[in-house]
Every structure is written in C-alpha cells, then in structure tokens.
Structure 1
Amino acid sequence: MEDGRHLIATTLSSSAQIHAKYGGVVPEVAAREHALAILPVVDAVLTESSLTLQDLDAIAVTQGPGLLGALLVGVTFAKTLGAALNIPVIGVHHLEAHLYANALVDALHFPALALLVSGGHTSLLLWRDYLQWELLGETRDDAAGEAFDKGARILGLGYPGGPEIERLARQAEKKSLHLPIANLGDTLDFSFSGVKTATQALWKDHSDEPEEVAYALQQAVIKALVKNVEKALNRYPVEHLYVAGGVSANQALAEALRHLGQVRNIHIHIPPTAYCTDNAAMVAALGYYLWQAGKSMGPFEGPHAVFPLV
C-alpha cells in the first residue's frame, strides 16, 4: 500500500472451506491455518509487487478484535519482521479498518456517517475526519451478520450464512411473511437477538417455504439498519454515508441504502465485494494514516481478542 490509497499488490488465503465443514470458525483451526499461510502470503505479495522487504517503511497488522490464536500469529509475525527490519509496526483495529476499504475506491469525504455491519459487530458512527469519529450506536446483542448466520442454521443452510440467506431470499415469490424489528426508542442502537427467535417461530410454521422465511429475515435486518441510518441523518445532515463490513456485500442492503441516498440526496459509498469481507488491503490503508500520525505498537503490546471501538 502506498499513500493510504494506492494498492500496489494484494493476495488472499482463505480457510472458509475448512471451517464450513464445522458450520462455523473453529479457533484452533483458524490459528493453525494462519500459521501455515502467513509466509506464503507475504512471499506472494512481494513477488506480485516486485518489491523487497527492505522497501517497506512500516508494517500494519490487525491487533483485534478477533480470535486470539489467529491474532497472535499475525501480531507475532509482524513484530518480529518489524524488529528485523527496524521499521515501525502499526496495530490496527479490525472494525475501523473496514471503513478504510472505501479509501481503496475513491477519496474519502468528511464529515460522513459510517455503518459498520459484519458477522460480529454492527455500529453506526459519525466520521469527522481521518482517525476521528464518534460512536452513535451499536448492537446490544447479536450483530446483523450473526442474525444471518443463525438464521441460516435454523433453515439448515451452509456456512457462512449471509450469502446463503441472500441466495435463498432471491428465490422468494410471494414475499408475504414478515418478522419484527426491535424498538429501542430514541437511541441509534441495534438489536438482532429477537429476530433470531422470531425466525425460529416463523420457520416452525413455514418450513415448507424456506425462500419466504429467508426473505423475511433479510428484510427485517435491512429495515432495522436503514431505519437507524435515517434517524442518524435527521440528527446529522451529512452528504456522505460509508458502508463497510462483510454484510455490506449484501446486494439487497446496498439497493435499500442507495434508494435512501436518492430520497435524501446523499452519496452512498459501498466497497466492491472483495473489500467488504476481511482483507489485508483495508488494514494497510488504515495503517498508513496511523503511521502518518506517529502511531506504532510498543515492545510489550500484543493482540486484543476484545477490542472496543471506544
């Protein structure tokens, strides 16, 4: 990564197919796969870029949140390499990094609202400038992506659940089933645990209509997300909304937000699918701005499995 926006080279090693056998991520397996993949991935990206390790000015690494074993592999590797090269290592917050996937597409515009939607987290932020934001609301229990994953398990679908729910929802014809969304009053918080329970009840009565149940679940999650974005826009009349995280790859959500953008005359920014899910490019992008601000990991800093945004 150069200048926080110019992606020189990137590569990806995924263990999703291995975890799919277990219906979800197995922490020990994830750590082992990280350890096996990290050297080949670094070699591959250096080859693609025609650069050497000596050309690097800094190294960015995900410091958290996440599975501790997998994080430990990355942080240990990055800090060891940084020490050998005598260059700074920048610890990056995984969720904040998702926002900077948008910087890979176009220049960022501030102030803006930002909607973070992933398997483990759902947050709404007021993004004032690079490295400057305010948390407006977050999930009180399950995240949006978690609701899709649990819904997929209820319907007997594969892992990861989000793409499976979206695939099935596209096949719905009647679209007559509905699920409730949580009413959290005047806050900008989210709650998706109730929709999981409601999906179980709906599936019990409509197990012969999996497409309709999947559509109802998808619409309930989208409605909850869009509702809070609308409320936030009423309070903070910005001109840009940035969406990030794995769930931002959901095309029905993208269509709903783009429709909102047309109605409210604001610009909706959603990264390409490859940058919606977890990727190193977004980590490097945020790492650049932290590096410019003089941030780096201390010698005794390590990974954080739990790493609050604030």
Structure 2
Amino acid sequence: MDRPLTFLGIESSCDDSAAAILRDGPAAGRVLASVVRGQGALHAAFGGVVPEIAARAHAEVLDHCVEAALARAGVGLGDLDGIAVTAGPGLIGGVLAGVMTAKGLAAATGLPLWGVNHLAGHALTPRLTDDLAFPYLLLLVSGGHCQFLVVEGPDRFRRLGGTIDDAPGEAFDKVARILGLPQPGGPEVEREAATGNPRRIPLPRPLLDREGCDLSFSGLKTAVLRARDSLMSAHDGIMSGHDEIKSGQQTRVPSAHLSGHSDGQLSGQSGLRESDRRDLCAAFQAAVADILAEKTRRALALYRDAAPLRPAFAVAGGVAANAAIRSRLQAVCAAESVEFVAPPLALCTDNAAMIAWAALERARAGLGPDAAISARPRWPLDPSAAPMIGAGKKGAKA
C-alpha cells in the first residue's frame, strides 16, 4: 500500500450524523470533506438526547451525509479504498444505523469495511492533525467518557484512570438543566461562566484527596444543585422581607443575602438571579478544570516513567472544545515541559474524519478489515484494565 489511501468514514454513535472523506498524505490536506448534521432541534424539548429519536434521524440522513461528503471531496465510490464506520460504543440504535449503512455500501461496491471503536477515533485524532508520535498520553474527555490513556499504537491503549460515574460532558449537560439553560449544555455553561465569578460560590473537588488518576463528577453536579437551591431560598427570603417592609413591618434583611447580586434580573429558574447563574457556571467550570488539571499532573508522572525523550500530552473529545479547560491543561504541560496538542475544535466533537483516520491507521499497520462487524453499546479501549464502576451485563462501560 504505497499509494495514498482514500477512506469514507461514517459516524452515528450519539446525536450527530456524520460522513467524511479522508486521504492519506500531509496532515494539512488529509480531510477532503467532513459533513456533520446535528440533531439539537429534535431533542431540545426533552432536555437531552432521546435514543429512539436519534436512531430514526440517523437512518433518515446518513445516506445524504455520505452523498454530500463525496460531492464536496469530488470523488466517487469507485475512488475509495475502504469504508470505516463507528461500531461502538454508543447509543445502540444510532450505532446500528451507521453499521447497516456502511455494510450496504460495502456490499454494493465490494470495498473492505473496518469497524472502528468511537473512542479510538478520538484517541488517534492527534495523529490525524499533528502526526504525534507513539506513545503519547491522552485525556479523552467527552459527553459520555473521561479517561487517561497511553496511546501506544493504532490498537494499543493503556488506561491509567477514568471517571467512576458521570463524564464531564454529561455533568455539564446536567448542570445546564439544573440552571435552566438550553441543551447541549457545555457551550451554554461556558458562555455563562465567561462573565461569572468562579470564587464566589465554593464547590468541592471530588477525589483529589485520593491517590491515582480516577475522577468523579456526580457529586459536583449535586453540589451545584444544592447551591442553586440555597441561592433561590435566600432570594425568596429577601423578597418576603421586602414585602414585610412595604406592609409597615420593620423586618431587617441580612446583608449576607444581598452579597453578589449585581443585578436584579431573574434567570429562567424562578428565584435564581442571572448573576447567581453566571457565578454558579463559573464555579462549576473552575472545579472541573481544577480536577482535570490535578489528575493530569498525576497521569503525566505515571506516563513519563516510560515516556520517550520528547513526552507529549493530547486532549480530545467534545469537552476539549472548552477554552478554559484547554488553557488549564496547557499550563500544566508547560510547567511539566511536556508538548501539548489539542486538535481543532471541529475535530474535538463527534465527526467521521476521525473514524476514517482510525481505520486508515489500522490498514497501514496491516490490521485487516472486519466484514463481520456488529454494533456494540460498550467497547473498552483497554480490555485488560479492570472495569470502572458501573459495568454491567453488557460489559465494561470504558
């Protein structure tokens, strides 16, 4: 395989239907076309992704995504050398829609088919964009996953730690719902946090008092809920006190209840001021950044024991698009004299270019196609690692 290979990638693991055309060559010109069709409008009324709606939407638009990607790249099916599709992990209905689309195309064209682990697509993205050499340390941080991985090859991943409950992206979405913000929650919380005070409202940093690289975000989400309720109760007390003063009663309003309220406007949550909401978002985002920064320091210490002369750290996944978190991780790497790599924002969130690249990496390494692929709701990258808390009958989550 000396000539450049051209692959079609298909991604449908959650709520983004995507197709991409990728050709091996210089990093700057590898992605010939990338088409992503989100489903935000379909799920907006439900406060999150509805699996059945997502699966139906994938089935309706995936072939159009493939057609659009081929047209943008200026290639036909006959110009392809292979097809790659996300075979898991993810929402099983969506994964099935993608696998069946890819199998149909492979049967019609005779092209070889690679089933790709969605997490491997994220993990190998730094090689797609920056030609990062193996082995490198990766923080995969997204809506459904969070783990530290030493990426040793196209199909070799060693997990150093991960979340034992919620992933950061999931926590961002839940905090957005708690505060009455639209979905997806990550960008909304980040936007609110930009003008908030991260130090006004104290929030915990779970698991920082324990050794190792495991993380937890469920308790942090609960702390935000309690802080919101406390702020709303304080506001209700202020309002009732004002009513008593107006009726002639000289009830004093404690000055502590007035601190931090720079404006009098209420947010979408009854009794929660906009300034409270912004400060809560800022405090939550700062807590997540602190946790990820400290755990990254610990993971770097483990990784550098067997690292090359030029150690490198990469971040990938949807939460890697958060500018504040990126900045904190970059600062950690600078302090540790470790190269920092973060893919472009469009390749941090779910896309099909990373799926095509993961298959191309496997093909270049002599790892053949898999015509008998099946959709998998769970598919750990490091099968030798002990399952994280939450593994069930269908296997380990990560």
TM range (shorter): over 0.9
Q: Given residue 326 of structure 2, which amino acid in structure 1 is its aligned partner? A: A
Residue by residue, what CA displacement relative to the aligned partner does 1:61-98 show, whole Å, maximum 9, x if unpaired? 00011111111111011012112211211111111111
Structure 1 residue 294 corresponds to structure 2 residue 363: no
Counterpart residue number, 1:244: 316
Cα distance in 1 for residues equivalent to 2:108 and 2:140: 35
Structure 1 residue 285 corresponds to structure 2 residue 285: no
Q: Given residue 278 of structure 2, which amino acid in structure 1 is its aligned partner? A: E
Higher mean C-alpha displacement, 6-15 vs 271-280: 6-15
Q: TM-score, normalised by structure 1?
A: 0.95
CA drift of 1:248 comes to 0.2
CA drift of 1:102 comes to 2.1
List aligned pairs for 1:26-41, cutoff 5 A.
26-41=50-65
Structure 1, unpaired ranges of 5+: none
**Higher RCO (C-alpha under 8 Å, 6+ residues apart):** 1
Residue by residue, what CA displacement relative to the aligned partner does 1:38-76 show, whole Å, maximum 9, x if unpaired? 111111111111211011111000001111111111101
Q: TM-score, normalised by structure 2?
A: 0.75
- Give yes or no for contact 1:110–1:240 (8 Å, CA) kept in 2: no
Residue by residue, what CA displacement relative to the aligned partner does 1:90-132 show, whole Å, maximum 9, x if unpaired? 1111111112222332111222110000011100011223332
Cα distance in 2 for residues equivalent to 1:106 and 1:288: 16
CA drift of 1:157 comes to 0.7
Counterpart residue number, 1:275: 347
Cα RMSD between the aligned structures?
1.5
Structure 1 residue 231 corresponds to structure 2 residue 298: yes
Distance 1:294 1:128, change over 3 A: closer
Higher mean C-alpha displacement, 233-242 vs 261-270: 233-242
Structure 1 residue 84 corresponds to structure 2 residue 108: yes
Structure 1 residue 20 corresponds to structure 2 residue 92: no
Counterpart residue number, 2:23: 2
Q: Given residue 210 of structure 1, which amino acid in structure 2 is its aligned partner? A: R
Structure 2, unpaired ranges of 5+: 1-21, 232-271, 384-398
Counterpart residue number, 1:200: 225
When Rg is computed on C-alpha atoms for both structures, the one with the higher figure is 2
- Give yes or no for contact 2:198–2:282 (8 Å, CA) kept in 1: no
CA drift of 1:174 comes to 6.6
- Partner of 2:361: helix, strand, or coil? helix
Counterpart residue number, 2:327: 255
Cα distance in 2 for residues equivalent to 1:126 and 1:196: 28
Cα distance in 1 for residues equivalent to 2:158 and 2:368: 19
Counterpart residue number, 1:96: 120
- Give yes or no for contact 1:58–1:291 (8 Å, CA) kept in 2: no
Cα distance in 2 for residues equivalent to 1:128 and 1:290: 13
Within the candidate set 338, 348, 351, 1:266 is matched to 338
% of aligned pairs identical?
A: 41
Cα distance in 1 for residues equivalent to 2:299 and 2:356: 29
Q: Given residue 47 of structure 2, which amino acid in structure 1 is its aligned partner? A: G
Residue by residue, what CA displacement relative to the aligned partner does 1:185-229 show, whole Å, maximum 9, x if unpaired? 222111111101111111112343111111111111111111111
Q: Given residue 217 of structure 1, which amino acid in structure 2 is its aligned partner? A: F
- Give yes or no for contact 1:131–1:289 (8 Å, CA) kept in 2: no
- Partner of 1:25: helix, strand, or coil? coil
Cα distance in 2 for residues equivalent to 1:221 and 1:174: 11
Counterpart residue number, 1:304: 376
Distance 1:130 1:71, change over 3 A: closer
- Partner of 1:11: helix, strand, or coil? strand
